[in-house]
Amino acid sequence: MNFSYLYCSLLFGLVGTAFFIYGKRQTEGVFLVAGCALMVFPYFISGMVLTLLVGVALIAAPFVLRRFGA
């Protein structure tokens, strides 16, 4: 593990915590699930590029799903 991967994992964990709290307070299930996924997925993915791609996709998912009515 290098510093950039650790920093990236910490950043996605913080965003995931914010999504989780927002989803819980506003009863938004999509944000709640995305927050949980953002907090957990760095434990299962070890590559830096794949971590960035999955993290950005998980951050964008609630906004895309809300926009298209899911």
Number of domains in the chain: 1
* Regions of the chain short of the pLDDT cut 70: 1, 70
Of all residues in the chain, the percent with pLDDT exceeding 90 is 76
Instruction: Give pLDDT, residue 69.
Output: 73
Alpha-helix residue ranges (DSSP H) falling in the chain: 3-26, 29-40, 48-67
- 44 DSSP assignment: T
- For the entire predicted model, the pTM comes to 0.88
User: Which residues span the domain enclosing 59?
Assistant: 3-67
CA distance 29 to 44: 23
CA distance 11 to 60: 15
